[in-house]
Amino acid sequence: MSRAAVPGLPSPHPIGALLPALFADDDFAQRFTAGLDTVLAPVFATLDSLPAYFDPRLAPADFVDWLASWVAVDVDPAWPVEVRRVVVERAVELHRWRGTRRGLTERLRLVLGAGAEVVDGGGATWSTAPDATPAPAPPAAPSGDVLVRVWPLDGRGLDEDQVLTVVRAGCPVHLTCRVEILPGPPGSPGRAEG
């Protein structure tokens, strides 16, 4: 969609009708203002529908990419426009969960239509007693390695490069993410656990 001049688009506020009565019958003045009306009509049309430009569900496709830059979301032009609209619309939520298991699985689901399981080596310990004796054993030191298992939700295959791009964008910088692409969810019939 283009926001350039649209042939034959009428102006909602023709300038010729606003001129003093002296110029109502002046052919030159009416033709001159009609030219200005042609230039200004797309501006009025854009301003009249301005709120729609800021709604990712309604905005023109090229404007959605610009809105993505406003909310600091990286969108790939190769993604379908519907996916880009949803990612921009849910940008605040995706930022809130960025770098977490939930954020990574949600981004993979939104962008690629993929299910994901994130297995990490971090750990925590706790006790219900304020002065627990014996003290709970401390968790193992985090390995700095995260395993992300990904599978298609709709039966189509997944592009490995796209999966790696989304995982790299959502994985915390201080961790190494390994990716396994599976034909189905772990534990599904016909899939041997390894």
* Reported pTM: 0.66
**CA–CA distance, 53 with 72 (Å, rounded to integer):** 17
Residue 64 lies in a domain: no
Give residue 121's pLDDT: 66
Cβ within 8 Å of residue 183, ≥6 positions away: 151, 152, 191
Confidence bin at 170 (pLDDT 50/70/90): confident
Confidence bin at 109 (pLDDT 50/70/90): very high
* Mean pLDDT value of segment 59-88: 90
Residue 30 lies in a domain: yes
Residue 137 confidence (pLDDT) above 70 = no
Q: How many domains does the chain have?
A: 2
* Mean pLDDT value of segment 98-105: 90
Residue 170 lies in a domain: yes
Give residue 171's pLDDT: 84
Residue 90 lies in a domain: no
Residue 152: give the domain boundaries. Answer: 113-125+140-186
Residue 193 confidence (pLDDT) above 60 = no
Which range scores top for mean pLDDT: 3-7, 57-61, 185-189?
57-61
Last residue of one domain, picked from the residues 13, 33, 51: 51
**CA–CA distance, 73 with 177 (Å, rounded to integer):** 21
* Mean pLDDT value of segment 84-112: 92
How deeply is 135 buried, as exposed, middle or buried, from its count of CB atoms within 10 A (0-12, 13-18, 19+)? Answer: exposed
Give residue 141's pLDDT: 60
Residue 108 lies in a domain: no
Residue 158 lies in a domain: yes
Residue 87 lies in a domain: no
Residue 152 lies in a domain: yes
**CA–CA distance, 37 with 40 (Å, rounded to integer):** 5
